Structure 1
Amino acid sequence: MAKKGAMESMIGSLTKAEKRYFRLFSELQQGDKKYLELFNILEARMNGSDKDLRQLNCADISVTKNYLGKLILKSLKGYNEGKTKRSELLHLLLEIEILFHKELYDPCLDRIKKAEKIALKYENYTMLLELFGWKKRLLSALHATSAHAKIKEVMSREQQTLEKLNNLDQYNRLLYEVMDQDFSDRKSMLDYFDHPLLQDNSCAKSFGALTIYYHLIYMLHIVTSNPVNGQKALDALIETMESVPFRIEEDPSAYVTALNNSMGMMLYNKEAGAAVEVLKKIRTIPERYHLKQKQYTLKIFIKTYNVELELYRDLKDWDKARALMSEIQRFLDIHIIPTNYLLSFYYQFAYIHFQCKEYSLSLTGINRIINDNFGTDRMDLQTYARFLFLMIHFELGNITLLKYAVENTRRFLRKRRSKLFAFESVLLKFFSQLSTSLPYEYKERFEKLSSALFQGHSEKQRSNILDYLDFESWINAKLLKG
């Protein structure tokens, strides 16, 4: 697969709405529209077209590419204007600067006041300091001889803001310091509980600092083997975040991370039911907090569905897995998702059908992986899909097909690496022999496979292999059946 260039990557990152906005934006531009032709060719090529860049009749394609990149960024600025509070503040700051230099002081002051409210509410201290700077300049211009008292008041607020910013910076520095430590050194990690910033939550002077405080307490309890107190700190962190819903609406990433950590704790404590409830709670975030970022919403659903499906697979709860598969399929029918996740879903669907002895349905899922072009995405799953393909054909009684399927699998593996893993060679040899064996010889073949499969592999390697495809359970079931 050819490596994408910077321009192709930029175009590939655009949503349908952003592409539509760019085309509308380009209509407003004057002059030659070669850049738009280039955009259309590159977009078509990314969708599988064989259009050649030589079709574009321009003197220097690198100049056209450069200009196209600038216009895409310019259109994205317009498209995203006001969609986050930070972008709204940046826009207001630009207006403040323009109005001040035009000596339009009253509307300039109105925008400073509006921006101050936003910056205070969302604790954007760096922009708040910039706004104080403009306010001082404005007060000096409006009240040249009597502005001292008002400017001193602004300076006092500047000082308070600097203290909060410094406090937040100290917590950030402490967080990165702790993350750089050797977590296995329990004594050193315990010593951090004596740090002045971690004595009490009142040491945190802002919402941002408070969330870092709870995250640090949670992390330190976990690495010092105190999961009960770790869970308490994590619950306090989640409660703190939920008490300020507009912050989650603006940027849900930290909240999602906290819930993911909570789910991890529940899985560690073997509380699978509670972990699933957290996953479902994460999926309600877009609706509960009215998220506008469609791509982020899509990621939330994709990741939580994937984790929940893996959880049911690990628990061997095939009924719940099948019910969730139906929900995921409805989701996939109406959304375009990244190919690496699509491949993962296809594989998990096929594996679950296999475990439910629905071999024809399992084969349909595996054929999607084998026949579609997934390039180099998730080569691990593409490899295990080939072995599952062999197992399915055996279960379906397609013994004569095994010989050809084995050779196809071997070719697939050798195209991607020069040397096969030991367990892969053993499996390929097994299925090759199986294709020429009589039914009464199967048990002996499976016995030999059972003893040879993981020779030379560490326990960790063996565990990783079985996590994707449980060969051992399949082999043991065949031996029990006789």
Structure 2
Amino acid sequence: MTNHQKDPLFILIKSLSKSEKRQFKLYVNRLGVNADAKFLALFNLLDKLNDYDEKEILKQNIVKKQQLSNLKAHLYKQVLISLRMNPVNQNIRTHLREQLDFATILYHKGLYKQSLKILEKAKQQAKDNQEKNIAYEIVEFEKLIETQYITRSIQGRADELAEEAKELSRQNVITSKLSNLSLQLYGIMLKTNYVKSDEEYKEIADYFYSHLPKYELDELDFREKLWLYKAYLWFSFLAQDFLSAYKYSSKLVDLFKENEPMIYLNPVFFLKSNHYLLEALFYVSYKSQFKETLENLEDVIADEKFPKNDNVISLSFLYIYTNKLNLHFMEGTFEEGLSLVDTIMTKLKNHSDRIDKHHVMIFYYKIACLYFGMGDNKNCILYLKKIIDNKNLSMREDLMCFARVLSLVAHYEAGMDYHLEVQLRSTYKFLLKMNDLHEVQKEMIKFLRNLGNIFPQDLKDEFKKLHRRLKKYENHPYEKRAFLYLDIISWLESKIENRPVGTIIKEKAKFLNR
């Protein structure tokens, strides 16, 4: 079995583009080392290998086994240094760090005035670009120099630096508290999922407001507002208050529009903010705004000014194609959506090192829903099986649960009665481990379990009864989200009216042109 996924150096080298590999070799030559240097030979060998194989490396006699670990560490460091020098990886943060390094060198040489001059300029750039942690670090360095070399260039210099440090510290503390709160809410989301009762809502609300720092909105800059809106956004998602999620995700996107340079300095936050807005718009079924937001996002990503590093490219794919699929669900255009499948599968393979398994499974689920919507139940089952059979994946239980429920429905639709019995038993085993089933899920399982006892002539009446039972949950504050995973109401209406489910959804989509 190969273990290339476990070796950081091998993964790093395989992630390099042709130009980055060429630059590394030019960098090595600039070092003046022998072209046959061991770390360069190791680089060339790992570049050629398809999988990391330590036996093959040792067979080449580049290095002895006892020295391999040190050589790999040295090569890893040299590759990173080469990447840092690449203009693609240069941004305001690397520039500021570089200026701080230069100032430190000058300080150690006793050239205090030159060091302070660099620091003053870098500090202003840091403030202008909302890099306040670096700005605070610079001020602290300026204070250190002033204790050893009094410039007397400005009256009250010590007081000025002290006040500057105090204000930056205050802003950094607020940002830290807000970012901590946002991260903790996200952690709660991953651990316990959305609130399912008034009691759970009260617990989350108490936690949120007790950890929310005091602030004056007018005094907050871009960075503080970014984390403030993100904290409110995660609270809204946890509470299943999708209108509130729409409100705060809109504020996030507007924040970037009002501060355009921040889009290019913080491309990941920009992408995520737009994705959150699209997710909220999907939940509230605001189709026209959804389409406009998606088109605007694609335009910005296509702009030559927008960063194009590996991380940004992978996230751009993830968010654009997730929401393209969601748009087809909103419009009921399942057949048209299938044109995306081949591209998605190819890109998932290309970005396999940077997209986690959970998001891959979400793509599989959405593709399965496309096939289900157009009546291709066998392909639907095929993609759901990829989720259900993944025993080594730690994912949100709601996704796994709905995959199993949809699989049951698809087996029924495909007339695979024997397989339905097997699926029912397997699903029951899985559901026994879950303590937080939606009422919608319980009703579906109960209905499917009794299918064998229903006479064919009574089936339509049973569909109508189930439809009435589920309809009352459609706008329930804690149950409505179940219908976003699986539009079981439209499926039941298709069985009652004897029409394709895709046709039902498409007709409903006409009313989503808000």
Identify the TM-score tier after normalising by the shorter chain.
Answer: 0.5 to 0.7
| 1:98-148 per-position Cα deviation (integer Å, ceiling 9, x unaligned) | 112223344423311221122112333332233223323444565467877
The 2-side partners of 1:344 and 1:145 are apart by 62
Matching residue of 2:306: 291
Report the Cα offset of residue 45 of structure 1. 1.6
Q: Which stretch of the first structure deviates more once superposed, 114-123 or 190-199?
A: 190-199
1:2 corresponds to: 2
After the TM superposition, which residues 451-470 of structure 1 pair with which residues of structure 2 at under 5 Å, given as runs? 452=421, 454-456=423-425, 457-458=427-428, 459=441
Distance 1:66 1:279, change over 3 A: farther
Which residues in structure 2 correspond to 1:338-349 (within 5 Å)?
A: 338=352
1:269 is matched with which residue?
284
**Residues 234-273 of structure 1 mapped to structure 2, 5 A cutoff:** 234-272=249-287
Q: Tell me, in whole angstroms, the C-alpha distance in 1 between the residues paired with 2:257 and 2:304.
A: 10
Q: By how many angstroms is 1:95 displaced? A: 0.6
> What does residue 431 of structure 2 align with?
none
Cα distance, 1:71–1:312 mapped onto 2, change above 3 Å: same
CA drift of 1:268 comes to 1.6
Change (3 A) 1:228 1:344: closer
TM-score, L = length of structure 1: 0.66
Match of 2:41 among 14, 20, 37: 37
In structure 1, what is the Cα distance between the partners aligned to 2:138 and 2:327? Answer: 52
Contact between 2:246 and 2:281, CA under 8 Å: does it hold in 1?
A: no
Question: How big is the shift at 1:241?
Answer: 2.6
Question: How big is the shift at 1:355?
Answer: 8.4
Task: State the alpha-carbon separation in 1 of the partners of residues 339 and 416 from structure 2.
Answer: 35
**Structure-1 residue corresponding to 2:246:** 231
Query: What is the alpha-carbon distance in structure 1 between the residues aligned to residue 252 and residue 416 of structure 2?
Result: 53
In structure 2, relative to structure 1, the CA distance for the partners of 1:271 and 1:291 (3 Å cut) is same
* Partner of residue 56 from structure 2, selected from 46, 52, 70: 52
Distance 1:452 1:59, change over 3 A: closer
Q: Cα distance 1:131–1:27, how it changes in 2: closer, same or farther (>3 A)?
A: same
In the TM superposition, residue 257 of structure 1 has moved relative to its aligned partner by 1.9
1:161-180: CA deviation from partner (whole Å, max 9, x where unpaired): 12222222232344455556
Q: 1:320 to 1:146 in 2, by over 3 A?
A: closer
Task: Look up the match of 2:96.
Answer: 89
8 Å contact kept, 1:193–1:199: no
CA contact (8 A) 1:99 1:105 kept: yes
1:11 aligns with: 13
8 Å CA contact 1:218–1:233 kept in 2: the answer is: yes
Instruction: Tell me the alpha carbon deviations over residues 362-388 of structure 1, each in whole angstroms, 9 at most, x when there is no partner.
Output: 9xxx9xx9xxxxxxxx9817979xxxx
User: Cα distance 1:263–1:59, how it changes in 2: closer, same or farther (>3 A)?
Assistant: closer
Counterpart of 2:424 in 1: which secondary structure?
A: coil
Matched with 1:206 is 221
Shift of 1:56: 1.8
Q: In structure 1, which of residues 99, 122, 130 is the aligned counterpart of residue 106 of structure 2?
A: 99
Which amino acid in structure 2 is aligned with residue 338 of structure 1?
S
Larger Rg: 1
Residue 320 of structure 1: aligned partner = 336
Deviation at 1:51, TM superposition (A): 9.4
Contact 2:236–2:244, Cα closer than 8 Å, also in 1: yes
On the 8 A contact 2:334/2:370 being kept in 1, the answer is yes
Q: Which residue of 1 aligns with 2:467?
A: none
2:321 matched residue in structure 1:
306
Structure 1: which 5+ residue stretches go unaligned?
370-377, 385-420, 431-442
Percent of paired sites with the same residue: 15
Q: Distance in 2 between the 1:36 and 1:383 partners?
A: 42
CA drift of 1:76 comes to 2.3
Bigger drift between 270-279 and 163-172 goes to: 270-279
1:332-481 counterparts in 2 under 5 A? 336-338=350-352, 380=386, 446=415, 448-449=417-418, 452=421, 454-456=423-425, 457-458=427-428, 459=441
Q: Does 1:24 align with 2:26?
A: yes
Match of 1:407 in 2: none
Corresponding residue of 1:415: none
Equivalent runs, 1:187-198 vs 2, <5 Å = 187-191=202-206, 192-193=208-209, 197=213
The yes-or-no answer on 1:79 pairing with 2:83 is: yes
Shift of 1:78: 4.0
**What secondary structure, in the 3-state scheme, does the structure 2 residue paired with 1:37 have?**
helix
Q: Distance in 2 between matches of 1:450 and 1:57?
A: 55
Check conservation: 1:167, 1:209, Cα contact below 8 A.
yes
**What is the DSSP-based 3-state SS (H/G/I as helix, E as strand, rest coil) of the residue aligned with 1:338?**
coil
Aligned equivalent of 1:131: 138
Tell me if the contact between 1:171 and 1:213 (Cα under 8 Å) persists in the aligned partners: yes
Contact preservation (8 Å) 1:214, 1:234 = yes
Cα drift, residue 453 of structure 1:
6.0
CA deviation digits over 1:278-325, x for unaligned, max 9? 333333333448233331342134213531454366565145325556
Q: What is the aligned partner in structure 1 of residue 463 from structure 2?
A: none
90-99 vs 224-233, greater mean Cα deviation = 224-233
For 1:276 and 1:146, locate their aligned partners in 2 and report how far apart those are by CA, in whole Å. 57
Q: Work out whether 1:169 is the aligned partner of 2:176.
A: yes
- Given that 1:99 and 1:108 are in contact with CA atoms closer than 8 Å, whether structure 2 keeps it comes out as yes
Aligned to 2:115: 108
Q: 3-state SS of the aligned residue for 1:237? A: helix
Which residue is equivalent to 1:69? 73
CA deviation after TM superposition for structure 1 residue 52, in Å:
2.7
Q: Any unmatched runs of 5+ in structure 2?
A: 391-403, 429-440, 449-481, 501-514
CA RMSD of aligned residues (A): 5.1
